[in-house]
A and B are shown apart, each in its own frame.
Chain A
C-alpha cells in the first residue's frame, strides 16, 4: 500500500509516520512537501503531528493555506482515505475538511501521556473492524475539541465521533477527559467517513517497544480496506 505523508514546515511526526508505514507495516511511504501539488497517487494520505509554522497564529491555520492542501482536499473529495493526527487534525479543521476547532487544553498546559480512547461511531478506513479501547499517547497543547451545539448533534447523530477519551474499561466521563473536549471527543470523521482527524498518536504506539502496540490497529484497518478493494 502507498502512503503519502504531508510535510509542512514544522511538522515533526512526518518521519514517524513514514517509519510506521515502511518499517513496521512493510509498505511504501513518501513525504510530500507543503509546496507540492502532486501527492503522487497514494492509497492513503497522512497529515502528521507537529507544529506546522510553529503553531503561530492558530494551530494548523497557516498550513491549511499551503498548496499541498488543495491536492489533499481533491483526494478527500474523491473519497480517498485521509488521517490527520494531532496537528494534522488541526490542519483538517482549519481547512474545513472537518467541522469544529481544537482549542487550548482546559488545564492550559501541554499534556504528554497515554490516554485511553474508545472506538465509536460508524466504521471508517482507519477504524473498520477495530473495537474496544485503545491506549494511545497524546501530546498537545490545543486538543480541546469544540463545535457548536448543532454540529455536535449532527456528529453524534451520524455516528461521526470515532474516538472518545475514556477509562481503561471504556467508561466515558469527565474524569477521563484530559483536555476538556466536548463529549470527550478525541477524533471525528467527515460526512463521507473517509477523512478522519484525531488528537491521539497511533503511530507512537504501533510496536510493543513503545507501549503495547495497539496503535497499529488503525493502520492495519486501512491496509485491510485498501487491500480488499484491490
Chain B
C-alpha cells in the first residue's frame, strides 16, 4: 500500500484526519505504509496516553522510598538492606473479553516482562477482575476462561499468584476488566532501564519468533466495542509460559553480568514501541534491519514485523564487544537471539528491509509529538439519593444473602486454581488475610500486597471513590502488619470522547492524588485503559489500585480470622456507615444510589498509624477491614477462617440494617488479648475504637441493647459464602 491513503485507511489506523495531517506536517511528507502503521500504534491511546497525560501529571510520584517512578517499565521502591521491590499493574481488558484464556494469559505474561525487564526476579502476581452481573449469559464463560488463563500462565511460569480481587456488576457486562499486577525483587543497585545508549552499540532481539499475532492489538485496545467486534478479530496472541520461564532465567542471567546498556520488552505495539521508547528515553536513534528479525511465518512484511504483538520477546542493547557472551547465555536457554540493529545519534527511527529504507522518521515525532488532548469535561449527573429501604424483618437472613453475593463470597474457587505457594515465600495465602504477604528473599522482611477498587463508589463520586480505593488498599496492607509504601494503578474508564467520562477520569486522579499524599504512598507505575464501553454503555469508573507495603519481620504477619476463643473483639475506626453504593443497597433495591461513604484524609492516616502502632506492640492477633457488606459481613468472615464464633454487642442509634450492612471508610475488626492497650493506642492517635465483644463458641451473635439482631451458627453462615461462586458458574 502506498500514499495517498483514503480516509477509510486512515480511520482504520485509529487516526483522525487532524492527526494524520499532523503526521504529514511532522515528517514533511506522506508516511510510507510501515510508517503509517508505526504512527498508528504509537499515537494510540494505549501507547500515547493522549487523553490522560495532562491529568496524570497531578499524581504524586516521588518520595524518600521511590527509586524509580512512572516512565519506565515498572516502578521501584527501596525495601531496605540493599533490596528493591519492583512492581506494576496493567490491564488486558479487551483481549480477555474476546478470547478469555489467551487474553488473560498474555496479560500475565506482559506484566511479568515489565518487571523482570527491570532486572527483578518476579515473586508475586495479583489479579483484579471485574465481570458482568452473575446471571449474564456470558459471565460464566468469561470467568472460567480468564481464571483458567491466569492459572495456566502463572502456574507454569513459576510465579505465585498470591492475591487479587473479583467483583461482579452489570456495568461490566460488555467490558470485563482483567488487571494483572506483578511484583519482583532486585538489588537496588542492579536496576535495569529501557535505554538505547552508546552510538554503535548493537541491538539484540531475544525470545520467541515473530508471527502475525495481534497486529493492531494496541489500536484495538483503544477503540470501543461495536456489534461486529466479536467477528473482527485480529490473530489472537498466544501466550507461551514455558518460553517466558526460559526468558526470565535467560534475562536474569544476562543482567547478572555487565553486558547490557538497556533492555525493554516488546509489549503492545511490539518491536515498534520497544525500540522507539528506548531511543526516546535516551535521546538517541536506532537503525533496525527488519530482515534479521526471526520469523515463524513466511512472507511477513516490514509493516507486519513492526506491528506484530507476538509474545515473549525482548529487545536488548548490548555493550559493543560483549555480544558473544550475550548470545551464549541466551542460546543455552534455547531461545532465539540475533542482532537486529544499532544505536545511532541521529534521533531518527530508521528501519531497512534488505537494504531499502522503509521507515525513517524522527523519534520525537513518534513519541514526544504524539497528540495530547485536553478533552472537554462535564460533571456527570449526580446519581439519585438513597430512597426508601425497608428494614428487613430477619437480619440474619439478609446476612446469609449478602454473604452469598458473588462479589462478597469466598474466592476459593478462583485461587485454588492458582499456584500461590511456588517459590516457598508465601507467608499469607489468598483468603487468609486482608493482603497477601511474601518473604523478601534472603531477609526476614516481608512484602504485603493488595489490589482493589469499588467501581460503584466511583460511579457515585469518582473523586471520593478513588480515594477510598487507595485507602482500602492501604488499610488491607496495614491489617496484616505492613506499612503501606507505594502504589501502582490501572485506570479503567469508558470513552474519553464523552465529557462526563473525562470528568470522571480527572476527578478520580484527584482522588488518588489526595489519598496518596495523605498516606505517603506515591504512585510509582501505572496504566490507563480507556474506551471500556460497548454501544455507548460504559463501565463504572474503576481506578484499580495496587498497594505494596513493607514489614521488617515477616514472621509477625497477622491474618483476618479470629485465631482462638476468649479474645476481645475491637472495632478500630469510627466513621458512620451509610447505605449509598453499598452491596446491601444493591441487594435490597437493585439500584445504585448515593452518596457513597466519605473520605477523611486525616482520619485515614491516623487509622493506619494506629494499626501499625498496635502491631508493633503485639496487640493485633487478627485484623480485617469492613468493606462490601459492612460490619456484619466482616464479623462473619472473621469467624470463618478457624471456626471461631463471637458474641458481639453493637452500640448505635440508627437503623439496625445501616449499622450492620452499611459501608464506611477504614473500620477494622481486630482480635486482641489486650483490649485496653489497643484502645489507648487508638486514643493516642485520635481514632475512635470500641470493644464490641468476645470471640468463642460456634455461633455469631450480634445484639444491640436488648435486641438480638443476628444469632446463627458459623457453619450455617459459611455455607452459601463458600459455594456461591461455584453455584454461579453451574
Contact = CB atoms under 8 A, between A and B. Distances in A.
B240 interface: yes
B352 interface: no
A192 interface: no
Contact of B418 (A55, A112, A201, A203): A112
B170 to A, nearest CB: 27
A183 interface: no
Contacts of A111: 416-417
6 contacts: A10-B245, A16-B422, A109-B417, A112-B419, A113-B416, A204-B422
A209 B156 contact: no
Given A54-B240, A209-B554, A110 B151 contact: yes
B199 interface: no
B427 A12 contact: no
B423 A16 contact: yes
Contact of A55 (B156, B333, B420, B424): B156
Most buried by A among B243, B418, B424, B554: B424
B564 interface: no
Contacts of B417: 109-112
Interface string B226-262: 0000000000000011110110000000000000000
Nearest to B161: A112
Interface of A: 9-10, 12-13, 15-16, 19-20, 49-51, 53-56, 109-113, 137, 139, 141, 201, 203-204, 206, 209-210
Interface string B386-420: 00000000000000000000000000000111111
B558 to A, nearest CB: 13
Most buried by A among B241, B245, B417, B419: B419
B304 to A, nearest CB: 26
B156 A54 contact: yes
A154 B96 CA distance: 48
Given A110-B416, A204-B424, 20 more contacts: A9-B245, A9-B333, A12-B423, A15-B423, A16-B423, A51-B156, A51-B242, A51-B245, A53-B242, A54-B240, A54-B241, A110-B419, A112-B416, A112-B418, A112-B420, A113-B416, A139-B419, A204-B421, A209-B427, A210-B424
Contacts of B555: 209
A206 B415 CA distance: 22
B439 interface: yes
A203 B439 CA distance: 16
B565 to A, nearest CB: 20
Interface string B301-345: 000000000000000000000000000000001100000000000
Contacts of A12: 156-158, 245, 422-423
A51 B426 CA distance: 20
Contacts of B421: 112, 137, 139, 201, 204, 210
Contacts of B418: 110, 112
B144 to A, nearest CB: 10
B282 interface: no
B155 interface: yes
A210 B426 contact: yes
Contacts of B240: 54
Interface of B: 151, 155-158, 240-243, 245-246, 333-334, 415-424, 426-427, 439, 554-555
A110 B555 CA distance: 29
User: Shortest 6 CB-CB distances between A and B: which pairs?
Assistant: A12-B158, A54-B242, A51-B156, A16-B424, A139-B419, A110-B417
A99 B419 CA distance: 27
A12 B157 CA distance: 7
Nearest to B151: A110
B482 to A, nearest CB: 15
Most buried by A among B151, B240, B416, B417: B416
B242 A9 contact: yes
B242 A203 contact: no
Contacts of B334: 9
A10 B242 contact: yes
Contact of B242 (A56, A110, A137, A141): A56
B422 A13 contact: yes
A209 B419 CA distance: 17
Contacts of A139: 155, 419, 421-422
Contacts of B245: 9-10, 12, 51
A177 to B, nearest CB: 15
A124 B255 CA distance: 42
A185 B366 CA distance: 60
Nearest to B121: A15
B29 to A, nearest CB: 47
B414 to A, nearest CB: 11
A53 B418 CA distance: 19
Most buried by A among B245, B418, B420: B245
Contacts of A209: 427, 439, 554-555
Contacts of B416: 109-113
B120 to A, nearest CB: 15
A49 B427 CA distance: 20
A13 B245 CA distance: 12
B457 to A, nearest CB: 32
Most buried by A among B156, B241, B334: B156
Nearest to B157: A12
A10 B423 contact: no
A49 B422 CA distance: 9
Most buried by B among A15, A56, A110: A110
Contacts of A109: 416-417
A109 B417 CA distance: 7
A51 B241 contact: yes
Contacts of B554: 209
A9 B250 CA distance: 11
A84 to B, nearest CB: 17
Contacts of B423: 12, 15-16
A210 B243 CA distance: 29
A110 B424 contact: no
A108 to B, nearest CB: 10
Contacts of B419: 110, 112, 139
Nearest to B248: A12
Contacts of A20: 424
Nearest to A210: B424
A176 to B, nearest CB: 16
Nearest to A178: B416
Most buried by B among A56, A111, A209: A209
Contact of A110 (B155, B157, B333, B439): B155
Most buried by A among B241, B243, B333, B421: B421
A201 to B, nearest CB: 7
B714 to A, nearest CB: 18
A69 to B, nearest CB: 17
A15 B252 CA distance: 14
A109 B725 CA distance: 15
Contacts of A203: 424
A31 B627 CA distance: 46
A208 to B, nearest CB: 8
Given A139-B421, A210-B421, A50 B426 contact: no
B616 to A, nearest CB: 20
A164 B194 CA distance: 51
B155 A51 contact: yes
A10 B243 CA distance: 8
Contacts of B420: 112
A10 B155 CA distance: 11
Nearest to B156: A51
A10 B156 contact: yes
Nearest to A204: B421
A127 to B, nearest CB: 21
Nearest to A55: B156
A16 B439 CA distance: 13
Nearest to A15: B423
Nearest to A33: B332
A53 B242 CA distance: 6
Contacts of A10: 156, 242, 245-246
B353 to A, nearest CB: 33
